Structures are given as structure tokens and as C-alpha cells.
Amino acid sequence: MTTPLRCLIVDDVALARDRLRRLLGAVEQIEVVGEAATVTDALELVHEHAPDLVFLDIEMPERDGFALVAALPPNLRPAIVFVTAYDQHALRAFEAGAIDYLLKPVETERLQQAVQRARARHGHWSPELVAQLQQLGGEAHYPERLTLPVDHGIRLLELDDLDWIESAGNYLCIRTGKETLILRETLTRMESRLDPKRFARIHRSRIVNLSRVARLLPLYNGDHTVVLKDGTELGLSRTYRDALYRALGIEH
């Protein structure tokens, strides 16, 4: 079995927190590490527990859920699933990097699908969980190529040609061989389009094609350097180290 996905519930309504906790109790390999009713308390819990996933309400007293997302430190940034009674915030939620948007009352099937998206981001996959997702009818199907609006046209990029991706603000630099494609899109949204068995986040601003990885060189502070087959060196932060090891089948 895989390491449990550690999550935090943030909602100012105690009954809403209790219901979500009960629903999560039926999901395998999930550990609720804390609950918070305010953004201030949630930030303290993020620093204390470094959760993989946060279920986050939007409309709360003092500061809303978007304020929490903005205040999250980059090195501790978990996957965000907004849980709200209002659908008008969906666009802003995904622009803020959310991996899913659930409407209250939360349905069990949608909650499990959101959890599977979080697992994909963190590389928390196991045969048991894949079988469970298939039974739910939510098996993920990833494309073999990307359709990219670049250079005033449409570029069809085979995933086998993609080496690595780096974010620069609201833009992505997509490295393929000796070519760099510039695309206006967030890294989180691009990550959701990629098969986690073939691509992995190695830094808050970087995704790599696993088939291009040749070596991992440890650094003194727990970070690593990822060396690709063409000699390119990319930084691997501690936040994503364990997930990359799992994706590469490395025991440590």
C-alpha cells in the first residue's frame, strides 16, 4: 500500500467539517491531520503538518479561502480542493491552481474523484487504488499528445517528444529537444493533463518526463539535482522528492 494522503479540512462551519471528515473516513489511504475554522488557524496547521491536500471552503469570516491560497508558502503548497455552496467562484478557483471544485452537499463519488486527482499529483498510486477508481467509473485517460495554441496556430506535440516543463509566471516553457515552446497556462493545469505514470512534478515550477531521467544527485540540504539523459540538470526540491522516488521505483 502507498503512504496515506495527508489532508486538512478548512471550513468555518463545524457541521460541514464533521460531514466531510465522515465521508473521507470511507476513502482508503486518507489521513485527516487537522481541521481549521479560519485562515489563520489553517496556516498554522499547514506549517505544522505540511499536508498533501487541503479541502477548503471559500466564504469564511475575516479572510476567505483565496486568502489562504495566496498566503501558502511555496515549499509547503499542498493540492487544493475548494468545497463551497456557490458555483460562481469556479473560474477563479482554477486560476488559483485548485485541482478540483466541489459543491455542497458533497457527493461521495465526486469526493473520491477529487482525492484521486490529488493522488495523481503526489504520485500516491497503488494497484488497489487503481482498481477502486476503475470500479467508480473514474479511470483517468490521458492523451498521447497535447494540443497547444502557439505561434498564432495549433501545435500538436507528442508526449514522447516532451522533455520537461518550467513555469514563468502565467506562462510555461515547454522544452522539447532543442526547441522551447511558450504557452500561456499554469503549471498546475498542465500537470492535470499529463499521465502521472509518465510525468512528475519535481519543483513547484517544474515537471519532468520520467523517461528522460538518467541520475539523481543528492545535495547537502536534502534537495537533489535531476540529471537528464541529454545532460540537463534540474533542481528537485524536498517537497517532491519522495513522490519522484516512488514514480521511478526507487527505494530509499
Per-residue HEC secondary structure of the chain comes to CCCCEEEEEECCCHHHHHHHHHHHCCCCCEEEEEEECCHHHHHHHHHHHCCCEEEECCCCCCCCHHHHHHHCCHHHCCEEEEEECCCCCHHHHHHCCCCEEEECCCCHHHHHHHHHHHHHHHCCCCHHHHHHHHHCCCCCCCCCEEEEEECCEEEEEEHHHCCEEEEECCEEEEEECCEEEEEECCHHHHHHCCCCCCEEEEECCEEEEHHHEEEEEECCCCCEEEEECCCCEEEECHHHHHHHHHHHCCCC
What is the C-alpha to C-alpha distance for residues 40 and 195, in angstroms, rounded to an integer? 35
> Is residue 13 scored above 90 in pLDDT?
yes
State pLDDT tens for residues 135-179.
444 445 577 888 777 766 778 889 999 999 998 877 889 999 878
State pLDDT tens for residues 171-211.
889 999 878 988 888 887 788 788 888 999 999 899 999 99
Could you tell me which CATH class the domain 145-248 is placed in? mainly beta
State pLDDT tens for residues 22-51.
999 988 889 999 999 999 999 999 999 989
| Residue 134 pLDDT | 47
The answer to whether the pTM exceeds 0.75 is: no
> Is residue 94 scored above 50 in pLDDT?
yes
Among 8-17, 46-55, 86-95, the minimum mean pLDDT is found in 86-95
CATH number of 5-135: 3.40.50.2300
Give the residue-averaged pLDDT of 209-230: 89
Confidence class for position 73, pLDDT limits 50, 70, 90: confident
Residue ranges per domain, the chain? 5-135, 145-248
**Bigger pLDDT: 236 vs 251:** 236
In sequence order, the 6+-apart residues with CB closer than 8 A to the CB of 149 are: 155, 183
| Residue 141 pLDDT | 59
What is the C-alpha to C-alpha distance for residues 45 and 42, in angstroms, rounded to an integer? 5
Task: Look at the alpha carbons of 69, 93, 159, 174 in this order and tell me if their dihedral is positive or negative.
Answer: negative
Distances in Å between the alpha carbon of 20 and those of 65, 184, 195?
17, 35, 28
Q: Do domains 5-135 and 145-248 have the same CATH topology?
A: no
| Residue 183 pLDDT | 83
User: Nearest-CA neighbor of 25 among 43, 7, 42, 40?
Assistant: 7
